[in-house]
Chain A
Amino acid sequence: DTAVSQTPKYLVTQMGNDKSIKCEQNLGHDTMYWYKQDSKKFLKIMFSYNNKELIINETVPNRFSPKSPDKAHLNLHINSLELGDSAVYFCASSLGPGATYEQYFGPGTRLTVT
């Protein structure tokens, strides 16, 4: 019954490692997003895909690479992890790319880099 799911829920890793976070939505939406929420709860968009095409690409280090194999999935791969990458990463989806479409958020992945 889950709408937007993310795996893993928690990720603890060391500096320099490479890790991936996976996201899946079963809502039939065309648009998916990755957000980063820092320790102060500040929520900032990183990427957005519409129908597998990248449409929003914020100023994010190129160590972060999103991949959308199909409309229902959006994964985030992070190379050479740094301490500052520690945050909660949220995946979201919406019916379309317009701002007025409600965004449905996943439960988040808490990434801790030591």
Chain B
Amino acid sequence: GENVEQHPSTLSVQEGDSAVIKCTYSDSASNYFPWYKQELGKGPQLIIDIRSNVGEKKDQRIAVTLNKTAKHFSLHITETQPEDSAVYFCAASRASGTYKYIFGTGTRLKVLA
């Protein structure tokens, strides 16, 4: 079946360092890849997304890269801050029609001050 693998499951970085989270998807028809951030006690919130016709997208300190051939996509956070500490989920879906998100297993990011 369709699945999305996400690594690492936990990641600790020093404040100011960069963090990278990687995902691999199995459904070759997937063409839409959102990233969600879940803070403690809250629901997930969209932080960035990318479509398959784009290889990279950046929004301030956050960037996402996509390698469609390898079916890999990654989240890059630069100059990490304590408020970046949260659980991050990648997801894959088909952009057209009614299609569900397949979420990755999540990465708990801790930014150490």
Contacts and interface: CB of A to CB of B under 8 A. Distances in A.
A4 B44 CA distance: 12
Interface string B73-98: 00000000000000101000111111
B100 A48 contact: yes
A99 to B, nearest CB: 4
Contacts of B38: 41
Interface residues of A, number: 25
A52 to B, nearest CB: 15
Given A42-B103, A43-B89, A43-B103, A99 B43 contact: no
A44 B103 CA distance: 7
Contacts of B43: 4, 90, 92, 105-108
Given A4-B43, A45-B101, A98 B106 contact: no
A50 B99 CA distance: 12
A104 B97 CA distance: 19
A41 B95 CA distance: 25
Contacts of B97: 98
A67 to B, nearest CB: 19
Interface string A51-84: 0000110100000000000000000000000000
Contacts of A42: 103, 105-106
Nearest to B105: A42
B45 interface: yes
Interface of B: 32, 34, 38, 41-46, 49, 51, 87, 89, 93-101, 103, 105-106, 108
Q: Identify the 8 closest CB pairs spanning chains A and B, nearest first.
A: A105-B43, A99-B93, A43-B103, A97-B98, A41-B106, A45-B100, A102-B46, A55-B98
